[in-house]
Amino acid sequence: MSEAATPGRHMTDEIGQQPAIFADLLATRGAIAEVAARIAERRPRFALLAARGSSDHAALYAKYLIEVLLHLPAGLASPSTTTLYGARPDLTDVLLVSVSQSGGSPDLLEVTESGRQRGALTVAVTNTVDSPLNSAAELSVDIRAGQEQAVAATKTYSATLLALYLLVDAVRGGTGERAAPIPDLAATALDSGRQAVDDAVHRYRFAERMVTTARGYSLASACEAALKLAETSYLSARAYSGADLLHGPVAAIDADTAVLALCSTGRGGDAMRDVLRAVDQRGADICAIGSGAGDVPAAHRIPVPECAEELAPVLEVLPVQQLALGLALARGEDPDHPRGLKKVTRTR
């Protein structure tokens, strides 16, 4: 088999590129700071985030950042209220951030154009500087991840997380110094956790049902994990906040359920202890990923280097990507070309 036809080759390469991409993004964060200064000048009263797919999980992460670090209320937009129902709310003094790796999603373009007409300060966060979305928005942030060949997003997703963190941190007057160690920590996470990921692949290769869960900032990682496992390995995967999991869905968890728990060091990880005790009592097979994985009940653990809690999702998603890649290959699939999927979602 030629190298070009090797299943998972692109996804493997793109997972490995992430430490260098993070370093490049940090080296050019001055451009992001300029966008942040414009946002700070406008003093928005509310933030609205529009996205689809993996970008929607990045937007969820940004929602936590905005509410916790900026003390600004934030919400996730429902694009169909604009595209299908023609809603035109007053967005005066609202910050509208549209997140799209391709910048080519028609519904996000319509939401951004409508939002700008309705008074919002619009910001596009994309990996394509000449995209229609960038042209429609007043301001734009380039995530600088380079072209992604695999259909499943890896490096574009993590670069979006880091770009959003740098943007929000700069709005509050920060310099991104807490993110400085991220490239080296990412390299460590990808290398040191490889054996634990391989063991997890062997353990879960025949799983048919998986629940992913987390609290706080890491909830974005749990949502992305469910998507990655579903689209590359065709697992039936569902993401829940740890708090929501205990309010009903835990009743459906049993010994045949694999649970992937994202547990960073910090308040979010601390809040997962009681959740996973309850899940463990149901007999579930728990795989804990994160810098706080050693402090929760789990049958298998994949460690991640510790960093500031608000940056943990940037690192936590790396072994998640490796796990999705490994499971797909072990199950005889090609994660570079998931069945029936395309790179750009053309919804309206």
Q: Please provide the average confidence, as pLDDT, over all residues in the chain.
A: 94
At residue 341, the pLDDT reads 58
- Tell me the domain boundaries of the chain: 3-179, 182-330
pLDDT above 90: percentage of residues in the chain: 88
What is the widest separation between alpha-carbon atoms in the chain? 57
Fold match between 3-179 and 182-330? Answer: yes
AA identity, residue 154:
T
Per-residue pLDDT for 3 more than 90?
A: no
Per-residue pLDDT for 343 more than 60?
A: no
At residue 30, the pLDDT reads 96
Give buried/exposed letters for 109-136 (b at 16+ CB in 10 A, else e). bbbbbbbbebebbbbbbbbbeebbbbeb
> Strand, coil or helix: what is 105?
coil
* 245 φ/ψ angles, rounded to the nearest 5 degrees: -60, -35
Per-residue pLDDT for 108 more than 90?
A: yes
Give percent helix, percent strand, percent coil of the chain, each to the nearest 5: 50, 15, 35
Give me the mean pLDDT over the 149-177 stretch: 96
CA 190 – CA 185 distance, rounded (Å): 9
Per-residue pLDDT for 259 more than 60?
A: yes
Instruction: Measure the CA dihedral 233/238/243/247, to 10°.
Output: -140
- Which among 158, 137, 167 has a CA at the least distance from the CA of 29? 167
Q: How confident is residue 101, by pLDDT bands cut at 50, 70 and 90?
A: very high
pLDDT above 70: percentage of residues in the chain: 96
Q: Does 192 or 161 have the greater pLDDT score? A: 161
At residue 346, the pLDDT reads 58
At residue 181, the pLDDT reads 98
Q: Does 215 or 339 have the greater pLDDT score? A: 215
Give me the mean pLDDT over the 81-91 stretch: 94
Q: How confident is residue 241, by pLDDT bands cut at 50, 70 and 90?
A: very high
Per-residue pLDDT for 325 more than 70?
A: yes
- Which among 301, 226, 227 has a CA at the least distance from the CA of 263? 301
Give me the mean pLDDT over the 294-316 stretch: 96
Residue whose pair of structure tokens reads 């400085």 in the numeric block: 180
At residue 155, the pLDDT reads 98
At residue 4, the pLDDT reads 53
Superfamily of domain 3-179: Glucose-6-phosphate isomerase like protein; domain 1 (3.40.50.10490)
How many Cβ atoms are within 10 Å of 277's Cβ, its own excluded?
A: 11
At residue 344, the pLDDT reads 56
Q: How confident is residue 345, by pLDDT bands cut at 50, 70 and 90?
A: low
Q: Please tell me the total number of residues recorded for the chain in this structure.
A: 348
Structure pTM? Answer: 0.95
Per-residue pLDDT for 230 more than 80?
A: yes
CA 270 – CA 295 distance, rounded (Å): 8
Superfamily of domain 182-330: Glucose-6-phosphate isomerase like protein; domain 1 (3.40.50.10490)
Q: Quick check: 296 and 273 in contact, CB under 8 A?
A: yes
Q: How confident is residue 337, by pLDDT bands cut at 50, 70 and 90?
A: confident
> Strand, coil or helix: what is 121?
strand
Order across the sheet with 209-214: list the strands: 236-241, 209-214, 258-262, 285-290, 300-303
CA 179 – CA 23 distance, rounded (Å): 10
Taking only the tens place, the pLDDT of each residue in 266-290 is: 999 999 999 999 999 999 999 999 9
Per-residue pLDDT for 35 more than 80?
A: yes
